[in-house]
């Protein structure tokens, strides 16, 4: 991660000491290409490693990258998987984004604010965020008030509900289950603490 803003990363770490750092996998792939690791197969292998959710699957995906180019693994070794692969993300933050599109969109909206002093900039950002959040609330009330969830989440839930018909739960006690998947994998699920060994 570069610090083109000269000190902003250190400032963020001071203000948000427990915040997770993550790479944008799209930018990471661009850096891989610049380092000489090119091709559609390499790009697909990197994205599979980034999207996988368990350590075992991650190791399997890294072996696939090594089969394409062992030097690519050496290039990836100095990048902490906790910063780019879902398999190593902490489960407390409820965001599994692998791209920084949100950051780039936000950054493009605050160009004028960035030109001011820190106080002026922070005030402009505060007003921008307040306005944006309220606009989103108004849009939700107008378009989706009869639904519990927004369309994108409803679509994701619908896909997962369809997939769930192929899974078989075995009850261990009132809160613990073992879930057998159609591909032979088995996962532990605890509905009380909302934990699941598949990490999805």
- Tell me the percentage of the chain whose pLDDT exceeds 90: 50
Residue 167: which of 178, 175, 179, 177 has the closest Cα? Answer: 179
pLDDT at 112: 83
Q: What is the pLDDT of residue 109?
A: 78
Q: Calculate mean pLDDT across residues 55-76.
A: 95
Model pLDDT, residue 134: 95
Name the token pair of 68: 């394409």
pLDDT at residue 93 is higher than 90: no
- Average pLDDT of the residues of the chain: 87
Domain spans of the chain? 8-88, 110-144, 163-200
CA 134 to chain CA centroid, nearest Å: 25
For residues 120 and 171, which has the higher predicted lDDT (pLDDT)? Answer: 171
Residue 5 has pLDDT above 60, yes or no: no
Phi, psi values for residue 150, rounded to 5°:
-75, 165
pLDDT tens for 97-116 read 787 777 777 778 788 887 87
Give yes or no for residue 1 having a pLDDT over 50. Answer: no
pLDDT at 50: 95
pLDDT grade, residue 6 (50/70/90)?
low
Which is more confident, 45 or 143?
45
């Amino acid at each position: 991660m570069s610090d083109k803003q000269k000190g902003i990363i250190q400032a963020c770490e001071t203000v948000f000491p427990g915040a997770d750092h993550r790479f944008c996998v799209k930018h990471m792939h661009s850096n891989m290409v610049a380092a000489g690791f090119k091709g559609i197969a390499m790009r697909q292998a990197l994205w599979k490693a980034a999207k996988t959710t368990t350590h075992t699957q991650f190791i399997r995906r890294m072996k696939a990258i090594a089969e394409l180019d062992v030097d690519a693994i050496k290039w990836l070794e100095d990048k902490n998987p906790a910063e780019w692969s879902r398999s190593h993300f902490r489960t407390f933050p409820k965001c599994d984004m692998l791209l920084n599109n949100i950051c780039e969109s936000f950054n493009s909206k605050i160009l004028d604010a960035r030109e001011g002093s820190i106080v002026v900039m922070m005030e402009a950002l505060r007003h921008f965020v307040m306005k944006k959040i309220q606009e989103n609330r108004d849009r939700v009330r107008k378009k989706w008030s009869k639904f519990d969830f927004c369309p994108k989440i409803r679509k994701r839930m619908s896909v997962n509900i369809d997939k769930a018909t192929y899974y078989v739960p075995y009850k261990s006690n009132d809160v613990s289950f073992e879930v057998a998947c159609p591909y032979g994998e088995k996962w532990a699920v605890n509905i009380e603490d909302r934990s699941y060994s598949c990490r999805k």
